[in-house]
Amino acid sequence: MDVLTENFSLYGKGFLSTLELTVYASILAMVLGFVMASCRVAPVGSFRAIGTVWVMVLRNTPLTLLFFAVLLGLPRFGLVLPFKVFAVIALGCYTSAFICEVLRSGINTVPTGQGEAARSLGMTFGQTLGNVVLPQAFRSVIPPIGSTLIALAKNSAIAGAFSVTELLGTYKTLNELGYSIIWTFVWIAVGYLIITLSISAVFNVMEKRWGVGR
């Protein structure tokens, strides 16, 4: 317990920073994932191409390489932001590709007749997607979205290698101070468990309330 009690503020700072990264990156991933999923099922070929390229590139790019591209590449084009913001962008964009595919798979579970009926009533593509298709698709994709966001929380550990304060990075300071590396990582693992189990609990509640009965 000495490792935790004597360095509680350090652990707390890392924990809150990881939580902040997770929340903001999750919001960005959900927004971009929704936009790209809409492009993937759009009737316009150019929109489908944009969604396909987005997913193909990001899903097949190592997250560490994406961090290098965002944190070290964007400043060369004159975009200078705090490293934490760059980390949110990298995590959010990367995860959005997976959210996109999860949403698209949920959209594909909705019978085509639902969309055809909406269009026969004069609804536009946006109205059909937002009012008819997505509300039904969302019910079937709650568990995989939760799993994807849990993976995002764990992926946030990569940010520590790019001068971004986060939970895993606390081990460097504690190691230099001579604390047991084993107990240092035990408490780091506990911090990640709190975050991931909280996400899991939230999505379990959502699944029980809105999920598809099995």
Of these ranges, 72-76, 86-90, 170-174, the one predicted with the greatest mean pLDDT is 86-90
What's the pLDDT score for residue 136?
82
The whole-angstrom separation of Cα 79 and Cα 183 is: 40
User: Does residue 213 register a pLDDT over 60?
Assistant: no
Q: Which of the pair, 144 or 176, is modelled with greater confidence?
A: 144
Other Cβ atoms within 10 Å of 205 Cβ, number: 12
Cα separation, 55 vs 58, whole angstroms: 5
Q: Using one digit for the tens of pLDDT, what is the confidence trace for 19-53?
A: 999 999 999 999 999 999 999 988 888 999 999 99
Express each pLDDT in 6-23 by its tens digit: 677 878 888 898 999 999
Q: What is the mean pLDDT of residues 77-100?
A: 91
pTM (2 decimals)?
A: 0.87
Res. 211 pLDDT band, cuts 50 70 90:
low
- Position with higher pLDDT, 6 vs 152: 152
The mean pLDDT of the chain is 86
Contact by Cβ (8 Å): 93, 58: yes
Burial 113-140 (b: 16+ CB within 10 A, else e): eebeebeeeebebeebbeebbbeebbbb
pLDDT, position 62: 93
**Helices (H) then strands (E): counts for the chain:** 10, 0
Would you state the pLDDT for residue 94? Answer: 96
**Which range, 42-46, 48-52, 76-80, 125-129, has the best average confidence (pLDDT)?**
48-52
* Confidence band of 162 (pLDDT split at 50, 70, 90): confident
Q: What pLDDT, on the 0 to 100 scale, is given for residue 193? A: 93
CA atoms within 13 A on the CB side of 146: 20
pLDDT of residue 199: 94
Q: How far apart are CA 74 and CA 95, in angstroms?
A: 19
CA pair distance 133, 126, nearest whole angstrom: 10
Half-sphere exposure of 43 (CA within 13 A, CB side): 8
pLDDT of residue 60: 92
